[in-house]
Structure 1
């Protein structure tokens, strides 16, 4: 026979529990819970005298529960919020008490209530708790562009902190935001923030929220409106580009892009190949800096080609030709080039470099951005075997993000930039 019943309770209190659970609470010899939970079940509601234990220091509470178990004072009922095994006390109880003595009676969780109030299917949602925890996981899922996110907050990591975090990350995706307060209670409120533009974030930061809230983020693919006159000449912010809807973080980051442009040592009236162009972010930068140059953005995916066209329209550049096809074969149809950037090779890096060597004009430059050691080894082996001059730049960057009232750094993925040129021709004077 179960000796400890862990009962989930909502903000509707005793009204929200089933008759079976209500009978368990009435029969309890020891009733454990926070002051709010104990108040839901007054002494007059129980048929027999019930000892009450305020859930404060967990270690002391566990010690007292063990004493009651030893004395045979059971059944014991522990009142908790929502689903005990969903970011709740249940996990700790299982670690401290014999599992065979425990039975769980879950209530609806705040996450269930939030998504059902919003009428959004949530089987594919990512649940993140920053209740007394780091925001690292939330940063990661936002950078990945996860479509649906529910965030469990606390007094410090609250909706205002989430708003500041969203603003600081400069995400290529935008998120629709809801703050769902006091779910299931008399003071329930759903506040919708239409999008993540700065005006809305300021409003969110100024609003006062109940401590009992869940934040729901829903990604939408509406691109940020551009004012071309306000864009920097070099280093366009990442969130200005149209990106892959399922992989919005798949873009050469602004800081790395600036370094790549420097290594390319560009001049006017050049032919530039951008191999594995993805969204076309590097091509767009080159085209804006040098309108007299001709840029060929080579991309094997249909989605990538569509994004390149879309970004050309967004940034109003006309000197980019989107080339659909897989390198190296597609490169054979292009005019000889002065500069080559390889952002993606599709596993054919050696073959791509062979074609580049045959089509690169004198004084040409090849720049590669490599994220893996295997591709770096392939590139170095090729350059060494062909006696090319090369240099390496290892890039390990971090961006500042707000954490509560403080600021810390969140790292970007490390990248190795390889810059290579034809070997120098040695001459002998006679």
Structure 2
């Protein structure tokens, strides 16, 4: 007989949240393998039980066992932030059956009476994604978190979302299950259990105008922490971001990041990726760090130094913005396109000499260019009239390699 392995989603963890098929597979199994809290209910059974969740070690247990029927117990649903994919890869060659379970999202939503079909789903277990960005973009956010939930809620409050509605579920399905609700700011000093989920509702938030807080492109200057470091204007940032056309998983460089205004918008756009703000001025470095914290961005890292040297060791970028180069445009572009020939690079320039320099470099390097000149005028009040004041024209240059024929 060949060995049969069932990967069983165990719901919240207690046998009560198992599906009928899940119960049958566990009953039929000779060997149960899984985390301690999932195998504990079967400790008095006559089954062989292993406390293990690492895929490779589970493979070893099955390889060495003379038994034929195995059930590997997984938390929640097999397709919802579970270990299923790693196990299927580790158990290649064996006959495996995946038995779905009830996810914490489905269970919790039923408990609090809020549908989850329109919720944005986020896991912060071992991930550096930004909860503030998710709340900024979505009116309903479900979060898998843990004991560090208070830290995430503190970041939300600092980013202006302390008045959002909040539901908290801890130890779901267990006798000590606890469900709480209120506003985000009500739970900053609370201690959370390791089994914890959140549902955050920004739709009816009070206090700071939630629509202002949700702005992700062309963020007003007054929203940033300012210093004596130049800042890219909101309208220019909006055009730059449109040229970068970032995906949510992109790795992005902001070279010569200044106050970090472009870095912040990049981090919001690439919220499942990572942004590296490259800056060599000490005051600017500190401002970027403060603005990253101010906007609750965990996927924005500051790199203190000068490009291209400090790019050594960073992950390969998908895109880059060069707001300041210290006369090193050629060296920076060479380095970037060596790292990723398919990437897109956007530069901005005010001086005609800078535009001429970039044109010359791109021609020599045989790079494809697209140049846009943006002129912004803003209103100001003069007596009973509203007048327009023109700002410096800015050249926005998009650079990429010519596609190979």
Shorter-chain TM-score range? 0.5 to 0.7
> Does the 8 A contact of 1:32 with 1:79 survive in 2?
yes
1:209 corresponds to which of 174, 192, 206: 192
Residues of 2 paired with 1:118 and 1:417: CA distance?
A: 53
Q: Which residue of 2 aligns with 1:396?
A: 260
Q: Secondary structure at the match of 2:79?
A: coil
Deviation of 1:110 after TM superposition, in Å, equals 0.8
Partner of 2:72: 78
Give the CA deviation at 1:125.
1.2
Residue 107 of structure 1: aligned partner: 101
- Alpha-carbon spacing, 1:110–1:250, altered in 2? closer, same or farther (3 Å): farther
Relative to structure 1, is the Cα distance of residues 27 and 373 closer, same or farther in structure 2, using a 3 angstrom cutoff? closer
2:85 maps to 91
Q: 1:5, CA displacement in angstroms? A: 0.5
- 8 Å contact kept, 2:13–2:75: no
Q: Structure 1 residue aligned with 2:58, among 58, 61, 64?
A: 61
- Contact 2:140 2:203 (8 Å CA) reproduced: no
Q: Paired residue for 2:146?
A: 154
Aligned partners of 2:19 and 2:101 also within 8 Å? no
Rounded Cα–Cα distance in structure 2 between residues aligned with 1:186 and 1:117: 15
State the 1:111 CA deviation.
1.1
Does 2:210 align with 1:220? no
TM superposition shift of 1:149: 0.9
Structure 1, unaligned runs of 5 or more? 225-239, 264-340, 345-367, 377-392, 422-430
Q: Residue 164 of structure 2 corresponds to which residue in structure 1? A: 175
Question: 1:408 Cα deviation (Å)?
Answer: 9.2
- Report how far residue 175 of structure 1 moved: 1.9
Deviations 1:339-396 (A, max 9, x none): xx9955xxxxxxxxxxxxxxxxxxxxxxx666428989xxxxxxxxxxxxxxxx9763
Question: 1:125 matched to which residue of 2?
Answer: 119
CA separation in 2, counterparts of 1:215 and 1:255? 27
Match of 1:185 among 166, 174, 181: 174
| Structure 1 pair 396–34 and aligned structure 2 pair: CA distance change class (3 A) | closer
Correspondence list, 1:18-57, <5 A: 18-44=19-45, 49-55=46-52, 57=54
> Do the aligned residues in 2 keep the contact of 1:7 with 1:80 (CA within 8 Å)?
yes
Alpha-carbon separation, structure 2, partners of 1:179 and 1:117: 11
**Residue 366 of structure 2 corresponds to which residue in structure 1?**
none
RMSD: 4.1
Distance 1:28 1:192 in 2: 40
TM-score (norm 1): 0.52
SS in 1 for 2:188: helix
Cα distance in 1, alignment partners of residues 38 and 171 from structure 2: 14
Structure of higher CA gyration radius:
1
**Structure 2 matches for 1:245-394, cutoff 5 A?**
247=215, 251-254=219-222, 344=235, 371-372=239-240
Cα contact 2:31–2:70 (8 A) shared by 1? yes
Give, in whole Å, the separation in 2 of the partners of 1:130 and 1:20: 30
State the Cα distance separating 1:174 from its structure 2 match. 4.5
Aligned residues: 269
8 Å Cα contact 2:55-2:90 kept in structure 1: no
Q: Among 171, 195, 211, which residue is 1:243 paired with?
A: 211
1:181–1:209: 8 Å Cα contact kept in structure 2? yes
Residues in 2 aligned to 1:256 and 1:417: alpha-carbon distance in whole angstroms: 22
SS in 2 for 1:187: coil
Contact persistence 2:150–2:191 (CA under 8 A): no
Go from structure 1 to structure 2 and tell me whether the alpha carbon gap of 1:402 and 1:79 turns closer, same or farther (over 3 Å shift).
Answer: farther
The aligned counterpart of 2:5 is 4
